[in-house]
Amino acid sequence: MLEIVVKTEDWERHVRVSAEELAGLVRRIGGDGDRFLVIQRIPDLPDVFAQVWHKAGGDYTLEYRDGAADRHFQAMADGPEVVIAAMTGWARQEAGWHSGLAWSLLDMGPAREVPPLDLDEDERAELEKRIREVLVGGYASRAELAELAEEYLVTKDRRPVSREQAETLADRLWLERVGEQAEWQGETDPERLTRAFTVLQEAGITARENFTCCRSCGQSEIGGEGGPNARGFVYFHTQCTDSAAAGHGLMLLYGGFDGSSETTAVIGHEVVAALEAVGLRAEWDYDPGRAITVTPLDWRRRLVG
């Protein structure tokens, strides 16, 4: 799999696609509402991306940016194969991936100056603390972090953080976390959890991570996530994520779609077995009315973006 995220004009998001899947997405574009795609590396880095735009019957416009505005380039191609080769090479970070195309520098104009935040020490500390908590949770994108930074201190009469300031702050703290995770070795507990959830999903149990904001919303929405053959569900919501990131373990909510305590108990046993199979410890007293808790848990979830 390529360590990239692919985003399309019609709001699809593909994480860690194969080279063949990337090729299929490039060949597909051209119709109304599906004329471009953007790829970013995992983890996402500010102003580092490649993208292609194509309208059926015309050439392909390929761009890549490598950080600063003076590292933003464009090239034209008359068919998808050269685009596929370039984008796959970019994704793999192959030497010379951009050869074979005539690249020109795109003049993006001077970078706009972003004024410093006008916050007192307590407000700044509170805002950065909350952003770091969400970063440690590991599910937010850079755009979502910027939205949080912009809205967190808003009151009826005051909006102290502009969109540009929010993006600057979010990117700084994002890169700080990327630097921290570069030191991590091997599989982490959240990655083990994802493996367990994948097994459960394949066994007919709808499994969702960081799903909705709370238990009430989760219980009302999880039924819409399951396929026609789903027997039950397991999930944790964002408050559970915050608790796990703070070192308090992770609460899992589960149940059977038929509403019976018997099916819920069966689902609970399968969830515990899947967790233990990947090396995680689950606490559960076999009561279908009680949540399952994963603890101890070293919550180091690698960022995607």
Tell me the percentage of the chain whose pLDDT exceeds 70.
Answer: 100
- Is it the case that residue 68 has pLDDT exceeding 90? no
pLDDT at 83: 97
Q: List phi, psi (to 5°) of 129.
A: -60, -45
Q: Give 271: exposed, middle or buried? Use CB within 10 Å, 0-12, 13-18, 19+.
A: buried
Q: What is the pTM of this model?
A: 0.93
Quote the tokens at residue 139.
Answer: 């599910």
pLDDT digits (tens, 9 = 90+) for 126-165: 999 999 999 999 999 999 999 999 999 999 999 999 999 9
Determine whether 39 is exposed, middle or buried from the number of CB atoms within 10 Å of its CB (0-12, 13-18, 19+): buried
Q: Where residue 98 falls among pLDDT bands split at 50, 70, 90? A: very high
If you average pLDDT over every residue of the chain, what do you get?
A: 97
Q: Percentage of the chain surpassing pLDDT 90?
A: 96
Question: CA-to-CA distance for 298 and 188, rounded, in angstroms?
Answer: 8
User: Is residue 50's pLDDT more than 90?
Assistant: yes
**Tens of pLDDT, residues 274-284:** 999 999 999 99
Q: pLDDT-based confidence at 100, cuts 50/70/90? A: confident
Residue 297's alpha-carbon distances to 116, 186, 248, 279, in angstroms, are: 38, 15, 8, 11
Sheet containing strand 72-77, strands side by side = 13-15, 4-8, 36-41, 48-54, 60-66, 72-77, 104-105
